Amino acid sequence: MNRTPAPGRLRTAGAALVVTLVVLALLIDYWAQEVLPGSPIQLRILELRLAFNRGMAFSLGDSLPLWVVVSVTAAITAGVAVYGWRAARHGGPATTLALTLILAGAVSNVFDRLLDGAVTDYFHTGWWPTFNLADVYITGGVVLMIGAALFTRETADLRPQPGPVPDSTRS
């Protein structure tokens, strides 16, 4: 018995999860902007401290105009969305979940940048650049994608397909 959900169900579940995670990330970004300015919250292993990233990953491109940064990140996000939609047809649940997390993080950061002109960051470790929940989604998705690639079996049929046999006597 095949327990892998139908591609349509995986796509629908993935899309619903993307929307839910994006809303959650944007709500927490809003909370951070309201609560954290000037009053960081110290937790055991990290500090909640408000910061803004006007660039892309690790502040790369922070001196570029906003429209350039938004265009580049939105184009990459659209590419991930198209790839994820197509991959859900053939990929398993782990791959679909990984792409869903990556897409949710990317969409969250694009919307955050459109709303504020920068990405709102608030998780501060002291040894790593300050990051946000959307970045956690992206990192978790990448780790899951690597795990799925290493530890799951591909179901693609790799047997040779019938077709014309080349004639080796012609040159």
CA distances from 83 to 53, 60, 144 (A): 27, 25, 16
User: 167 catalytic, yes or no?
Assistant: no
pLDDT of 157 reads 45
pLDDT of 10 reads 77
| Closest of 22, 26, 42 to residue 34, by C-alpha | 26
Cβ atoms of residues 140 and 104 within 8 Å: no
Selected catalytic residue, list 29, 62, 116, 121: 121
Q: Is the pTM of this model over 0.75?
A: yes
Selected catalytic residue, list 62, 112, 135, 167: 135
Question: Any idea where the domains of the chain sit in the sequence?
Answer: 17-151
161: its two tokens:
């397909």
Q: Is the pLDDT of residue 107 over 90?
A: yes
DSSP 100: H
12: its two tokens:
């629908």
| Closest of 113, 103, 111 to residue 141, by C-alpha | 103
* Chain position carrying tokens 């790799």: 158
Stretch among 43-52, 88-97, 140-149 having the lowest mean pLDDT: 88-97
Tens-digit pLDDT profile for residues 2-49: 555 666 777 888 889 999 999 999 999 999 999 999 899 999 889 999
User: 116 catalytic, yes or no?
Assistant: no
